[in-house]
Structure 1
Amino acid sequence: MEVLKINIPAKAHLCQQLQDYPRINDPAPLGSYPADDVIFLLKDIGPLIQEQGNEERERAMQSGRHYSEMLPIEYKPNQEYIDLFHQALKETSYRLALATAIVAETILNKRGRNVVLVSLARAGTPVGVLIKRYIKHFYGINAPHYSISIIRDKGIDKNALLYILQRHMNYELQFIDGWTGKGTITRELLYSIAGFAREFGLAENTICQDIAVLADPGCCANIFGTRDDFLIPSACLNATISGLVSRTIYRDDLVGPADFHGVKFYRELAGEDLSNYFVDSITGHFNTARIQAQHLLTKQPAIGVDQRPAWRGRKETKKIMAAFGIKNINLVKPGVGETTRVLLRRVPWKILVKDMASPNIKHVLILAQARGVQVIEYPDMSYSCYGLIQPMGDN
């Protein structure tokens, strides 16, 4: 993957092209973060869509319906699971602060002061908030930060991207997500940006396509804080860790041509919201983490940067597919974050774990036991765990 940076002729062409395009309207306020932390370029369609159970959704998806057309029922964690989240946050908060510092310092070094942070909803949103707070606290840069939708096979929200470019033409964009698995969203981002450039008649390298993540066990991100596959506690919860918004929705009957992609805003969960608590718990370690990050970056300037990722996650996933006779790559989810999602909002078949005693998978074992899912110790893999989704029908 080549790192693409805006050049002056391309930037001038971008300004000229987009000046004449109809201006996208401002979004309605959304989410539970302070407005200065992030602006959600999303449309609240909560009253218009009914949540569905995991098995009903799974059958529909494996029969051909797209996942972005449905919403899962929000998982309500029991007290044991909530306690585990708090314990995990306590254990990993400094590690996450260090990863944030490495990513933030690298972004500033690559992009300069005129940078717009573009988080990919929803796992990228808490990470984007952390990076924005770090940059503002240590460098006095109040970088614009937006959360936008990108959907596998449907691409990035073009209206949201156009909105950002129309308002920040002299800035460089930096896309942000939480972690990587097979690299599906990274690939989708590359295709989407290339398609957007073609549609608007822009030069191929007008918009930077880098993606930054805290954890890149899949080896498919250009900027990363670590490549360890460990528990990022925000993977444990859903809306209550991501500003009280659902995963994003795209349906023609709910999202019009001039709309942003849709979400459900869970206002009723405000009393259970941990979004700002999560961020505050990590920012408290920023001072110490910054010292260590700058020391590491001084010794190894290329730490946290990969010009040509190896896409290890995708290659290993294909081996797992062959070993377990799985035909559809979308039914195999590598890494702690993706395995957690399988257990929370899919119909899990089996869970593979590299080491049953690993502290990174405590919550995975609790969820698997609660749902009656078989857990298999499978040492021959680089990830901490894999979530295998139950095949249905021809899958």
Structure 2
Amino acid sequence: MGSYPPGDVIFLLKEINGLIRETETEDREELIQTGHHYSEMLPIEYRPTKEYIELFHQTLQTSAKKVALAVAIVAELIQATKGNNVVIASLARAGTPIGILIKRYLESIHRLHIPHYSISIIRGKGIDENALLYMLDKHPGAKIQFVDGWTGKGAITRVLQKAIKSFNEKLGTHLDDDLAVLADPGHCVSKFGTREDFLIPSACLNSTVSGLVSRTVHRQDLIGPTDFHGAKYYREWLSEDVSNLFVDTIAKHFHELADTAKQQCSMHLIQDEEQWITWSGERDIQRIQQDYKINDINLIKPGVGETTRVLLRRVPWKILVNRMDNPYLAHILLLAHDRGVPVEERSDLSYSCCGIIRPQGEDNR
């Protein structure tokens, strides 16, 4: 599955093409907010405008070195803490291109050939345990490092911690539950490339920058007890795929940044891990929840990556930004304009931006 070379990643996912139809955004939003689980449906993939695609390419060129340095720092942290016998398990799908970049960095700079798999984790359902079992069977004795693109308020971090604790208790394993990300504006992990809430270009798009793979699906009529979680493979989008362009553009900067990354990794490791994790982002979101009288905190999606997702596949109510001239928000403002979503400036926002999903039945808020 997927448009990446098999040497970059193996998707531990069940292809469900022809078994599930995408749901219209408005219908899907109503179903989610009335109790249906988001992982039992797929949104219709957003088809970017020409202007939006041009913005992606422009952003990729201007931010390539910044993203490459964040990747390099995370890769150095993984190698320093996990050693050479490590398996990368990226969380599909946002984590997949990041996992590929980390794998390529370790090969290029450290001559390490690290296995890399992309697996599913779902809020409210947990991690794909069959995928974990597969990796443990294929790589006995190896340490697994979970990888994602960024943190928002830390929901997936908590899901991962709970899921790994349960898995270890059931099977007597000793998997680490730590998550490595490029950007950690939520302050909820200890392995990160930066705490800055900046635009990672892969957040701009959906499947066309993630190996043409959909978000993951878990529905009992589709996924059996021994199956991996499911996903669609959008082969029909191949002519518009920029997945390999993204990783190739970032990876060419690794050698010039390796020394800087090693220095920053050394400085990072001196600090006490508990000092890094404060969950300050979660507290900020609780304040927004109170200010806007939002009952369900899951309707608030902080950070550039999560706000982009709100605009691409949910029904947004409004977008909050820390300042209108923030250079990382050009695509956010473009998407908000295209969808007619109001944008409010909040100078007290610790994230660059925050997307708020429209509560169903409250159109006049």
Partners of 1:305 and 1:123 in 2: how far apart? 25
Q: 1:365 to 1:125 in 2, by over 3 A?
A: same
Deviation at 1:273, TM superposition (A): 0.6
Tell me the SS of whatever aligns to 2:84.
coil
Partners of 2:131 and 2:272 in 1: how far apart? 28
Amino acid at match of 2:29: E
Q: 1:304 to 1:46 in 2, by over 3 A?
A: farther
Q: 1:268 to 1:305 in 2, by over 3 A?
A: farther
Give the paired residue count.
Answer: 363
Residue 117 (structure 1) aligned with residue 117 (structure 2): no
Contact 1:224 1:305 in 2 (8 A): no
Q: Which of residues 312, 315, 328 is equivalent to 1:360? A: 328
Partners of 1:57 and 1:298 in 2: how far apart? 46
Instruction: State the match for 2:253 in structure 1.
Output: 285
Q: 1:301 to 1:257 in 2, by over 3 A?
A: closer
Contact 1:81 1:363 in 2 (8 A): yes
Identity level (%): 56
Instruction: State the match for 1:43 in structure 2.
Output: 14
Amino acid at match of 2:69: L
Residue 276 (structure 1) aligned with residue 244 (structure 2): yes
Residue 148 (structure 1) aligned with residue 115 (structure 2): no
Q: 1:68 to 1:299 in 2, by over 3 A?
A: closer
Contact 1:103 1:304 in 2 (8 A): no
Partners of 1:97 and 1:48 in 2: how far apart? 38
Amino acid at match of 1:165: L
Instruction: State the match for 1:162 in structure 2.
Output: 133
Instruction: State the match for 1:316 in structure 2.
Output: 284
CA offsets 1:177-224 (integer angstroms, 9 cap, x no match): 000001000000000011111222x15xx1111100000000011200
Instruction: State the match for 1:334 in structure 2.
Output: 302
CA offsets 1:332-376 (integer angstroms, 9 cap, x no match): 000000000000000000000000001010000000000000000
Partners of 2:87 and 2:360 in 1: how far apart? 42
Instruction: State the match for 1:187 in structure 2.
Output: 158
Deviation at 1:394, TM superposition (A): 7.7
Which shows bigger deviation, 164-173 or 367-376? 164-173
Residue 107 (structure 1) aligned with residue 67 (structure 2): no
Amino acid at match of 2:49: N
Instruction: State the match for 2:354 in structure 1.
Output: 386
> Structure 1 unaligned runs (5+)?
1-29
Tell me the SS of whatever aligns to 2:30.
helix
Partners of 1:158 and 1:256 in 2: how far apart? 12
Instruction: State the match for 2:293 in structure 1.
Output: 325
Instruction: State the match for 2:43 in structure 1.
Output: 72
Q: 1:31 to 1:301 in 2, by over 3 A?
A: same
Tell me the SS of whatever aligns to 1:387.
strand
Partners of 2:309 and 2:124 in 1: how far apart? 19
Deviation at 1:295, TM superposition (A): 2.9
Q: Which of residues 231, 234, 242 is equivalent to 1:266? A: 234
Instruction: State the match for 2:53 in structure 1.
Output: 82
Tell me the SS of whatever aligns to 1:255.
coil
Instruction: State the match for 1:130 in structure 2.
Output: 101
Tell me the SS of whatever aligns to 1:292.
helix
Partners of 1:307 and 1:166 in 2: how far apart? 35
Partners of 2:123 and 2:264 in 1: how far apart? 35
Partners of 2:124 and 2:160 in 1: how far apart? 10
Deviation at 1:298, TM superposition (A): 4.2
Contact 2:86 2:142 in 1 (8 A): yes
Contact 2:90 2:146 in 1 (8 A): yes
Deviation at 1:302, TM superposition (A): 3.7
Instruction: State the match for 1:3 in structure 2.
Output: none
Partners of 1:263 and 1:307 in 2: how far apart? 37
Contact 2:109 2:258 in 1 (8 A): no
TM-score, length of structure 1 as denominator length: 0.90
Deviation at 1:149, TM superposition (A): 0.1
> Structure 2 unaligned runs (5+)?
none
Tell me the SS of whatever aligns to 1:46.
coil
Partners of 2:274 and 2:149 in 1: how far apart? 17
Deviation at 1:169, TM superposition (A): 1.4
Partners of 1:304 and 1:124 in 2: how far apart? 26
Amino acid at match of 2:77: T
Tell me the SS of whatever aligns to 2:149.
coil
Q: 1:207 to 1:299 in 2, by over 3 A?
A: closer
CA offsets 1:136-176 (integer angstroms, 9 cap, x no match): 11111110100000000100001001100111111001000
Tell me the SS of whatever aligns to 1:294.
helix
Instruction: State the match for 1:11 in structure 2.
Output: none
